[in-house]
Amino acid sequence: MVVCVFISQSYADEAHFASEAKLKAIYLVHISKLTTWPVVEKNTDSFSICIDKTSEISTLLTEIVGRTVKNKKLKLEHDLTEESLIACDVYYVTASDYPIFKRFKSQLESHAVLTVSSEKGFSRDEGGIVEYYIAEEVKKVKMRVNLQNMRNSQLNISSKLLRLMDTGS
C-alpha cells in the first residue's frame, strides 16, 4: 500500500507541475497580447518568443506556433545569441540561460524585449519585467511586474492585466 501511495503522489506532483507550466505558457501568450511595443517594428511577419528549447514551457508553446499574436504569426526562437535575443519580442528566461540574460540585459531593454521568468527575484532584483511566482497562501501562479523596468524598455502592459499583477505598490 505504501508503494501505491508513493506512486499516486508522484503522478499528482507531475500533474501539478505540468499544469503550472501550462498556465505559465498561457500567461506568456496573454501577456504578449496585452502589451504594446514602441512603434518601431522588429520583424514584420512574425511575433517571436525567445526561449530555451529544453524548457517545458517551450514544449507547450510549440503546440501553438503559427497562431496569431499581435496580428503576426507566433514563432519560437531557440538561438539565444545577442543578435537573436534583441530581435525577439519576448524572452522567457530559464534558470539555465540566466547568465545570458544578465550579460545582455541592457541590450534587451534598449530593444524593447519583454523579459519574463520564474526565477526568484527576477523582476525585483535582476532587472526583469515580469516574474511568475507561486502565491503560497493559495498555491497559484501569480505575476509580479517591475513597472520601472517596463517603462525603461518602452513597453506598456494593459491596465487590465496590471490590476491582476503584483506591482509592489
Q: Look up cell 514551457; give the residue.
A: 57
168 assigned to some structural domain: no
pLDDT > 70 fraction of the chain, expressed in percent and rounded: 86
Measured on CA atoms in the order 88, 109, 130, 166, is the torsion positive or negative? negative
Within a domain: 56: yes
Q: What span, in angstroms and rounded, lies between the C-alpha atoms of 124 and 130? A: 9
Tell me the helix, strand and coil percentages in the chain, rounded to 5: 40, 25, 35
pLDDT of residue 15: 40
DSSP 64: G
- Determine the Cα–Cα distance for residues 147 and 163; give it in Å rounded to an integer: 12
- At 43 the pLDDT is 57
Residue 132: inside a domain, yes or no? yes
> Does 167 fall in a domain?
no
pLDDT of amino acid 47: 93
What is the DSSP secondary-structure string of 68-121? Answer: EETTEEEEEE---SHHHHHH-SEEEE-STTHHHHHHHHHHHHHTT-EEEE-STT
Does any domain span residue 10? yes
C-alpha cell at 169: 505598490
User: What pLDDT shows up at residue 40?
Assistant: 66
pLDDT value for 42: 64
Q: Is the pLDDT assigned to residue 10 strictly greater than 50?
A: no
CATH of residue 18: 3.40.50
Domains in the chain, number: 1
For residue 169, is it within any domain?
Answer: no
Q: What value does the mean pLDDT of the chain take?
A: 85
pLDDT tens for residues 50-101? 999 999 999 999 999 989 888 899 999 999 999 999 999 999 999 999 999 9
Give residue 158's domain range: 2-162
